[in-house]
Amino acid sequence: MKFDLSGKVAVITGAARGIGKAIALSMAKCGADLAILDMNVEGAGQTAEEAGKMGVKAQVYKADVSDLKQIQEIFREIRNTFGKIDILVNNAGIVSPKPFLETNEKEWDMIMGVNLKGVYNTCFSVLPFMIEQKYGKIVNIASIAGKTGGGFFGNTIYGTSKAGVIGLTKGIAREAGPFGINVNAICPGPIETQMLADCPEETRQRILSGVPLRKFGHPQDIANVAVFLSSDLASHMTGEITDVDGGIMRDN
């Protein structure tokens, strides 16, 4: 079964590398035009260039997702440029491995600003357009840390921010549902990104021992689910929090 996103316009945050890049290129492969939001303009440009080779339109916007005014302006520009916004994927995020008592207010504000307020800002900016067209797909990248209170890489503050994303997803799904808008979230487990690659082998093996499938996920594993949730094959799913974690959360 082929996922067809031809004619759709997808906004993806944090798509310069890793999971976000995999999502962007997977959507481009399925025919979606892309608006890529990232502070890393060079990396985002590379993603856009690869997407363009697939025959779709891809535009890069330098964006700080924690800045509501900036995000609202960018979304209006995207709407004017592309004519509509069908899909929003909130992938931008930051993490800190510090124990709770070693963190400070500045780190709290920074992590919450990107991971939670950033999702609020983009959803708040895009929903009026989606309500107007009575159609939209929002996919928020949360984390199993939002269910466990952190662990693996993310600390307590990171887990709290992702728990907020889960709650925000469920609430917006309830309010946006009557307008034909689907809002879901994905909770990745340990994924083979640069962060995991930089871990000592002992740490990698410790993490791996807690994964029933005994393997780490790859960005494409998350991208596959994001594409499905953004497609009309998932038209009767909303408010769903999907774990893609190799079985870590099987009993929860």
Residue 95 confidence (pLDDT) above 60: yes
CATH number at residue 177: 3.40.50.720
The one-letter code for the residue type at 48 is: A
Q: Residue 1 — pLDDT band, cuts 50, 70, 90?
A: low
pLDDT at 151: 79
Q: 128 with 78: CB under 8 angstroms?
A: no
Does residue 121 lie in a domain region? yes
Residue 117 lies in a domain: yes
121 three-state secondary structure:
helix
Counting the structural domains of the chain, the total is 1
Is residue 198 a part of any domain in this protein? Answer: no
Cβ(89)–Cβ(111) under 8 Å?
no
Does residue 200 form part of some domain?
Answer: no
Contact at 8 Å (CB) between 128 and 88? Answer: no
Does residue 38 form part of some domain? Answer: yes
The mean-pLDDT minimum among 87-91, 94-98, 106-110, 130-134 falls in 94-98
* Two tokens, residue 146: 């939002």
Q: Band the pLDDT of 193: cuts 50, 70, 90.
A: confident
* Residue 120 resides in a domain: yes
Mean pLDDT of 111-116: 98
- What does the pLDDT look like over 21-75, one tens digit per residue? 999 999 999 999 999 999 999 999 999 999 999 999 999 999 999 999 999 999 9
Query: Which residues belong to the active site?
Result: 158
- Assess if residue 202 is contained within a domain: no
Residue 199, pLDDT > 80, answer no
Neighbour count for residue 192 (Cβ, 10 Å): 16
Domain that holds residue 113: 9-191+219-239
Q: What is the pTM of this model?
A: 0.96
**Mean pLDDT of the 173-179 span:** 98
Provide mean pLDDT across the span 117-138.
Answer: 98
Tell me, yes or no, whether 182 lies in a domain.
yes
Reported confidence tier of residue 194, pLDDT bands at 50, 70, 90: confident
pLDDT at 133 over 70: yes
